[in-house]
């Protein structure tokens, strides 16, 4: 260890077991992993000063494995730091905050890149006895949002920020949401630009911004930039799925005060938790990331930010390692799939389910069935009743990648011209339908059909046994004008347009209604896996599939109808009574269809409580059949006979 400069500073042997900069008493412990390096220099600054206050060269005697560490007797709150090795300076991959990326979408000059720093410690924060809501997957309504885009056009005081999301918490509660999934919020470089340096040291492959490493030259502040070919325009990575992340640092430009991004993120979490709303975050892990670092990152966000769960990309992580980590045992983990048999050996059923599948299966099958594709009724039925016993499944019609719900029924093809890639970006397989006209249309028959299709899509999610997930703005018809890949649209195209909430009040009211219905009746989100049998000997199975003829599923490829009976006797609504039964009717033909209605025992009858076509209004079902309009979903609920009417229904003529 060698101290550079004239200022004396007391040091001690470092602790390599905790990476990053950690304050303890009067000392700050610095630890960084740099494989293959003979020495590393720690530069400590006074705030954002250009020149270091002091520098410490860490050599062989300060290294344990690939980790260099030192304790420094200087824990003043304005201290910032970075490292240098082989003539290149770089930020700590375990940095808790990055100062200097204060404005979203701003391309930094060379001098601004050189001024990037990491603060030594966080500001103190009062959690006020904050607790994890611990919402079971079976009771969850998930809402996916982009922190910046969610509030840029909202009536809030802090647009595009964590505090802006906190200001919309009451709206989410009113919608029935009890969990939010944040798109990536860890610090990333949102400007897509040519790589600046290739030989970057690190704990894992490319852990630092290319633009935050630079050759040491204290005598030059010239803003020399790399040569950029004129045919390669710079784009803003609005979504945040980047190749380089600081996995421990919240995105500073999502804060109203970037130097307190950590405190503002915590304020958002605390506010949502106070309303019994969980907070989950997508943690995008770049290729080649050290898997121990991923575990450290998840633990850190749970410990420091009280996060309730994560969506991860298991191709770059070890799902079994994460699922078996004791620190994360109560943390929800969402991934494309899980090897449940390996994770829970010998058919062990966990006391608290924390693993969930998150993939496009429900999305694609539901879209195809709802628009009337052949051969999809049985596939859709299996999706809507799917309920694994040792994991959960997230069901969604739309995700950030693809059409919004409004655009799904307004465009047949993508319209990504604004992205500047000549239409080559974005999926060509959207299973969308423009309902008779491409783009906006004022004709009432088209507008009514589009509204019905949006209601069908929302209701299909809410009637599924999995966890329904709403993409922010879909509940009131937010549009991206046909862009199905708005990754670079940091503008009104990519932002949620809250003005649509006033224009589409009927859709918003419908979503609130079905959210309340699902919340009230556990049979619609059964905490137990469905068996398809009458294991209680009550005269009806817990779930059964029907066609237009009751008790006879129609497996023909041209069939576009479906009936699903959910037995209320198998779910307790409270200690004293079982839930009501529900019969779900789907008619995805382009003309009306007549359905047999299964008979009920125990002096109960059916009542139509909900339909996506206004021609069907709530009423008691008095006949054995029900005619359902074209492309319509109807929901029947069992009700007790009050004795004024006979339980026996009339046969239809």
Closest CA to 167 of 180, 154, 178: 154
d(CA 207, CA 546): 54
Where residue 628 sits, what CATH number does that domain have? 2.60.40.1180
Looking at the structure, tell me whether residues 600 and 477 fall in a common domain: no
Asked if residues 236 and 190 have their Cβ atoms less than 8 Å apart, the reply is yes
Angle formed by the axes of helices 444-463 and 505-520, nearest 10° = 20
- pLDDT, residue 318, reads 85
Q: What is the pLDDT of residue 5?
A: 66
The answer to whether residue 426 is domain-embedded is: yes
| Predicted pLDDT at 516 | 98
Are 397 and 482 in a shared domain?
yes
Would 573 be classed as within a structural domain?
yes
373 and 260 in a single domain? The answer is: yes
- Tell me: do 435 and 581 sit in the same domain: no
10 Å Cβ neighbour count for 25? Answer: 8
49 within a domain of the structure (yes/no): no
Q: What are the Cα distances from residue 528, in Å, to 383, 484, 641?
A: 16, 36, 28
Contacts of range 240-243, beta carbons closer than 8 Å, 24 or more positions apart:
240/146, 240/183, 240/184, 240/185, 240/188, 240/190, 240/284, 241/184, 241/284, 241/487, 242/184, 242/188, 242/189, 242/190, 242/284, 242/286, 243/206, 243/286, 243/287
Q: Which residue, 522, 538, 559, sits at the end of a domain?
A: 522
Residues of the chain with pLDDT under 70: 1, 5-6, 122, 192-233, 642-653
The verdict on residue 170 lying in a domain is yes
- Cα atoms in the 13 Å half-sphere on the side-chain side of 164: 23
| 537 and 413, same domain (yes or no) | no
pLDDT at residue 595, rounded to an integer = 98
Q: What's the pLDDT at 193?
A: 62
Select from 463, 487, 522 the last residue of a domain.
522
Residue 78 lies in a domain: no
473 is a domain residue: yes
Tokens describing residue 592 = 């009306």
| Residue 207 lies inside a defined structural domain of this protein | no
Q: Considering the chain, what is the average pLDDT of its residues?
A: 89
395 and 478 fall within a common domain: yes
Q: Examine the domain organization and report whether 426 and 536 are in the same domain.
A: no
Residue for token pair 């080559």: 424
Residue 479 lies in a domain: yes
The candidate with the shortest Cα–Cα distance to 503, out of 475, 462, 471, 484, is: 475
Per-residue tokens: 379: 């596939």
What are all long-range contacts of 155-158, with beta carbons under 8 Å and residues at least 24 apart? 155/498, 158/256
- DSSP state for residue 455 in the 8-state scheme: H
- Report the Cα–Cα distance between both ends of the chain, in Å, rounded: 95
pTM: 0.93
- Together in a domain, 534 and 454: no
Whole-angstrom distance, CA of residue 362 vs CA of residue 397:
7
How many domains, in total, are found in the chain?
2
Whether residue 507 sits in one domain with residue 566:
no
Say how far residue 556 (Cα) sits from the centre of its chain: 37
Tell me: do 288 and 434 sit in the same domain. Answer: yes
Taking the C-alpha atoms of residue 183 and residue 320, their distance in angstroms, rounded to an integer, is 23
553 with 598, same domain: the answer is yes
Choose one of 522, 550, 574: the last residue of a domain: 522
**Residue 490's domain spans which residues?**
137-188+240-522
User: 3-state class of 70 per DSSP?
Assistant: strand
pLDDT digits (tens, 9 = 90+) for 508-563: 999 999 999 999 999 999 999 999 999 988 889 999 999 999 999 999 999 999 99
**pLDDT tens figures, 313-325:** 877 788 889 999 9
The answer to whether residues 247 and 386 belong to one domain is yes
3-state helix, strand, coil split of the chain in percent (to 5) is: 25, 25, 55
CATH of the domain at 343: 3.20.20.80
pLDDT value of residue 647: 44
């Amino acid at each position: 260890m060698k101290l550079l400069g004239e200022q004396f500073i007391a040091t001690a042997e470092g602790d390599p077991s905790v990476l990053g900069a950690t304050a303890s008493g009067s000392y700050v412990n610095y630890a960084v992993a740099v494989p293959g390096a003979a020495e590393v220099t720690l530069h400590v600054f006074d705030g954002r000063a250009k020149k270091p206050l002091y520098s410490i060269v860490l050599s062989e005697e300060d290294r344990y494995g690939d980790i260099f560490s030192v304790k420094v007797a200087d824990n003043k709150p304005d201290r910032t730091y970075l490292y240098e090795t082989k003539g290149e300076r770089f930020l700590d991959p375990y940095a808790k905050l990055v100062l200097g990326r204060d404005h979203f979408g701003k391309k930094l000059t060379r001098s601004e890149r050189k001024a990037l720093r990491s603060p030594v410690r966080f500001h103190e924060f009062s959690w006020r006895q904050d607790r994890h809501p611990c919402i079971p997957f079976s009771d969850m309504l998930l809402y996916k949002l982009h922190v910046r885009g969610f509030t840029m056009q909202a009536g809030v005081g802090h647009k595009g920020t964590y505090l802006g999301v906190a200001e919309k918490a009451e709206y989410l509660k009113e919608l029935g949401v009890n969990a939010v999934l944040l798109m990536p919020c860890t610090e990333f470089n949102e400007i897509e630009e040519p790589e600046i340096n290739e030989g970057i040291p690190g704990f894992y492959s490319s852990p630092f911004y290319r633009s935050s490493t630079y050759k040491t030259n204290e005598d030059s502040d010239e803003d020399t930039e790399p040569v950029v070919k004129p045919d390669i325009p710079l784009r803003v990575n609005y979504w945040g799925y980047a190749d380089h992340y600081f996995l421990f640092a919240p995105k500073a430009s999502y804060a109203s005060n970037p130097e307190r991004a950590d405190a503002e993120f915590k304020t958002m979490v605390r506010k949502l938790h106070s309303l019994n709303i969980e907070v989950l975050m997508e943690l995008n892990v770049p290729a080649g990331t050290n898997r121990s670092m991923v575990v450290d990152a998840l633990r850190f966000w749970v410990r420091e930010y009280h996060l309730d769960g994560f969506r991860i990309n298991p191709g770059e992580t070890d799902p079994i390692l994460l699922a078996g980590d004791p620190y994360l045992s109560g943390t929800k983990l969402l991934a494309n799939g899980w090897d449940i048999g390996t994770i829970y050996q010998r058919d062990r059923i966990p006391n608290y389910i924390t693993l969930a599948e998150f993939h496009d299966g429900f999305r694609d099958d539901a879209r195809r069935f709802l628009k009337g594709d052949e051969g999809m009724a049985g596939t859709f039925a299996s999706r809507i009743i799917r309920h694994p016993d040792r994991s959960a499944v997230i069901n969604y019609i739309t995700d950030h990648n693809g059409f919004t719900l409004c655009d799904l029924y307004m465009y047949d093809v993508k319209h990504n011209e604004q992205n500047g890639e000549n239409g080559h970006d974005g999926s060509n397989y959207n299973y969308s339908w423009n309902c008779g006209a491409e783009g906006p249309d004022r004709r009432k028959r088209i507008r009514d059909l589009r509204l019905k299709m949006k209601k069908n899509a929302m209701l299909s999610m809410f009637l599924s046994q999995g966890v329904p997930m709403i993409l922010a703005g879909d509940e009131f018809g937010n549009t991206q004008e046909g862009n199905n890949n708005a990754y670079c649209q940091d503008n009104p195209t990519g932002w949620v347009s809250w003005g649509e909430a006033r224009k589409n009040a009927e859709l918003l009211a419908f979503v609130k209604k079905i959210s309340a219905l699902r919340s009230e009746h556990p049979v619609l989100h059964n905490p137990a896996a469905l068996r398809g049998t009458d294991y209680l000997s009550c005269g009806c199975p817990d779930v059964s599939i029907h066609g237009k003829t009751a008790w006879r599923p129609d497996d023909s490829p041209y069939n576009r109808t479906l009936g699903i009976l959910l037995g209320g006797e198998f779910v307790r609504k409270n200690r004293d009574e079982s839930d009501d039964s529900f019969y779900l009717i789907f008619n995805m033909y382009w003309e009306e269809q007549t359905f047999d209605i299964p008979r009920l025992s125990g002096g109960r009858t059916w009542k139509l409580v909900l339909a996506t076509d206004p021609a069907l209004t709530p009423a008691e079902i008095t006949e054995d059949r029900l005619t359902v309009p074209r492309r319509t979903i109807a929901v029947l609920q069992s009700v007790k006979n009050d004795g004024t009417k006979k339980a026996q229904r009339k046969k239809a003529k």
